[in-house]
Amino acid sequence: MPKNMHSLIILILIAGCLASCLMLVSCNKKTIQEPAASSDSKPESYYTSYKQGFSAARFLETPYGTYFSSRDGYLYYSEKGNTKFIKLCNKPDCNHNSIDCNAYIKWYKIGYYDKKIYYITGNTLNCMDMDGSNHRNIKALYEGYDNNFGYFHNGYYYYVITKGGSIGAFGNEDNNLYRVKVDDDSTPEIVLTNDAILRLYMFTIVGDNIYIIEFNTDATKVASLYSFSTISKNWTMLTDNWAGAGAYYIDDNKGYCYMRNIGFYEYDLTTNEMNLVKPTELDDIGTCSAFYYPDYIYLIHYSSDPPSYLNQILYIYDRDYNLIDSIKFDKVYGKSTSGGFIGDVDKYVIFSSNYNEQPDYYIDKSEIGTGNLMFHKIEDW
Ligand SMILES: [Zn+2]
């Protein structure tokens, strides 16, 4: 190769590298100070309330864009659901690859309220600005080093203290559900005290009611569902045959759940009747998650036993339980990798091939039911 040509190639390589480095810096330097102007903007309460997703409080839809707390410990930001997710850091000279990076938050739970991102580290509530800067410690929730489980909802962090390490674990001693206001210096308050908290599967807050799902001691059933009114303090058992976390949803009038290989149930909260409204029989029992969104119900079927992220099919139903479309998510590589559904944002459904990293695939909802449904790669645009 002529010497000049050789130098030219090296120059091009260097230029390319510099350009990509600059691009990375300029992306992360984006100032996130104003809510995005969008025809899809929703009331503030939509963004501050808890939503179903692949894991409690790891994926946030906000007026400023979407945020994702990945298992590799970083907080990622995307202007829209289907634009590239970048680490949320605008520190100069940061390589975004160390614990000093503003985006490094150790896979903590995140919540949005009044122009700030809140997150919990150990027993402490913290917040940051929407662009990832100005991290600060707000208050301690309790003394000691026990874990807690909870999520952010309408300006509060709701939580249980799990001495045993996680919810439902042997060794849990505290049977209270607490909440703490995120944006003042008030102390935590007890919302509910009941031994069902010791065997908690999940809790849901709807208006003045709290719904508690407890691991069922009867092994032939999944879980028990209770309601608690924060006004009348009434504690009521609704059913002892309810689905677990990731397969149910409750609104003002009804509870909805999916029972493995039986079908979709609805629980009428006014008449206390529970009915099988759509029987389903999948080829292989496996396990399922069911996510209920305003437009669609997403049923994800992990068909192998034990369930594997390598074998997952997304079934899309309308809210009348008509099956509209289905597609295999075959982007997860390797048995030790977990990945899949993340959430539904505006016109898109977001997926990740690896929960350790940023979301990287999306479905365009306008393609559902057209025969052209596919997973698109999230590109930098
Ligand atoms: Zn950084």
The CA 98 to ligand 1 mean position distance, Å, reads 8
Q: Residue 80's pLDDT is what?
A: 84
The CA 29 to ligand 1 mean position distance, Å, reads 10
Which among 337, 310, 345, 314 has a CA at the least distance from the CA of 327? 314
The CA 113 to ligand 1 mean position distance, Å, reads 23
Highest mean pLDDT out of 219-228, 236-245, 363-372: 363-372
Other Cβ atoms within 10 Å of 139 Cβ, number: 16
The CA 232 to ligand 1 mean position distance, Å, reads 49
pLDDT, average across residues 198-226: 93
The CA R_g of the chain, rounded to the nearest whole Å, is 22
Q: Residue 305's pLDDT is what?
A: 73
**Residue 353 reports pLDDT greater than 90:** yes
Other Cβ atoms within 10 Å of 187 Cβ, number: 10
Q: In whole angstroms, how far apart are CA 346 and each of 1, 80, 338, 373, 375?
A: 53, 9, 25, 17, 16
The CA 161 to ligand 1 mean position distance, Å, reads 32
| Share above pLDDT 90 across residues of the chain, in percent, rounded to a whole number | 72
The CA 134 to ligand 1 mean position distance, Å, reads 13
**Residue 3 reports pLDDT greater than 60:** no
**Residue 316 reports pLDDT greater than 90:** yes
pLDDT tens, position by position, 20-74: 444 444 445 456 767 776 666 789 999 999 988 777 788 999 999 999 999 889 9
pLDDT tens, position by position, 135-189: 999 999 999 999 999 999 999 999 999 999 999 899 999 999 999 999 999 999 9
For ligand 1, an ion, list residues with CB under 5 A.
Answer: 89, 91, 94, 96, 101
pLDDT tens, position by position, 155-167: 999 999 999 999 9
Cβ neighbourhood burial of 260 (10 Å; 0-12, 13-18, 19+): middle
Q: Residue 33's pLDDT is what?
A: 66
The CA 90 to ligand 1 mean position distance, Å, reads 6
The CA 306 to ligand 1 mean position distance, Å, reads 38
Q: In whole angstroms, how far apart are CA 285 and each of 58, 280, 339?
A: 28, 11, 20
Q: Residue 335's pLDDT is what?
A: 85
The CA 294 to ligand 1 mean position distance, Å, reads 36
